[in-house]
Structure 1
């Protein structure tokens, strides 16, 4: 156990609830237990590109209990600008990885803690390998699709927000005899839609992993009506596949095409097939913001403490993970490789079908 270390911490990729709880845990463990110095790097890898490097010294006094309750990340983050193909003002792309590596070395870091999803951790790992940096990863993604961990920071709060949305939509649906369609996030995995749909009493859940048909959705709604109920709740993941194949995407002013619009598309199909009055709600970034729920605060705190302990024991190129009610650590490369989509015959899909929820067509 060496003393006097200087470690860096950064958040990368999209924000989510619980990031500040990770930062707080890292600072308290590193400073209070090991007497190390912690440098918070601002705006992820972008902060390492600037000269001087944008960073701040973090002390326990800076990360008291109040930060535990805050959404987002006090360090800022970025989900743009791959350092190995960085977009330049003239439209070209440039490899700026060595600038990031030299930024870490200018700070004199003995180790770096990176908080991110599979894409961010893959980039950070490549930087660490090429630059000889000591890296420890912490998984965060509301999609919960990182392998080898049962849960990532931010997922539980996102599910809670989506569930609350269903709770709030149900009375309006019943009052007006409507079908309410809720579009939730989920880049390529349907974990949020599935979990929130079950917890929120949805009648239809549409996922990227399981094909569905208009007839299947319409038949479920007709069945509900025949049973005497005047409303229905439909949850759809933004990445759910369209009946004819492909995904619903929207082009934004920055030129990027992102998932979105499938909720309105499905609402139209339902109205056309059943004659029901439909309304669509798109949660979007509401699922990322706000105060983290208790479980995200607990997971984040446990991850942050364990990440610092890994550095103390000289264990690098590892990602902390949650398994069987405890924190473990796994190789970052294995976690990235083991992508975790919804299991089409898994417990939650079987649970949903057992409750009479339409979750698409059975997969042979």
Structure 2
């Protein structure tokens, strides 16, 4: 493909799990090409990663500051179009800011920033410099999540009444951050993770999934937050009552000490006419239930599904699609949108379906409001 989007990556050095996920996802559809990177705060490790990826050593940088400036100085047909930011949370803001100010488009891992002020500043910068900003809330990329959204928007469920969303994990049930687990080390460190652990890491996925499928905004919430592991500075379990606009009620549960659980992100949406349920560990199936007729099971890849589900499907029904493909749908849609803009064309509406900088701001506000509620033991208004 001659008009591939050239991208660079910050983070994702040797041994980094999420960086490799992003690289595989970005490569899946052939729309993007990795040409540059600053893969580690260690210049030696960044160089090592660049060599492993077969990059031109002149395009492998010792810092993100150097990368942003030198890439922006290259001729337009050589410089990166976009940067993928896959570092720990505390580095998201300075990195995104550096590239946005150079007019380079951004894909950033969540949560977008550690503070509300930083998130609001990124929103201003994105508007000022007219760049595209995507946030990798990857669960929105699943075809059956898009089908769930379509069913809600089409009125299939009637008027919404209640939402129940849960994201339990068990990997932090023991103090593994004290046992050399690097993923746990930074996620439980307030200097790197910010004010929150479980809510910032997985609670934001639950919050974003509700908003994506239902379109509902949170009006207020009451959070019960706990650090079960002795000595852990940030919460590892959170349970919330949520009031959404229009009188819709919700329950949100995010935990990383739920022993035996892996990644069963699950959502149930109840309306006056029907309800739906989707689970990330069985992502190709969407259950729809009625009061007066049998339950329906909608399956990924079939022609009876919506255009949005079909647009984000690659293989025939019966063949599983999952985590990497959901990530890839965000990268594919961003790339298609950028290709259209580079060719002075209007992007396909289906290709513009990915989380934005505004979704990032919503997520950061949610984190801070939930932590505030948990500490103060009272209801907190979102605005």
TM-score (norm 1): 0.38
Higher relative contact order (CA 8 A, sep 6+): 1
TM-score (norm 2): 0.37
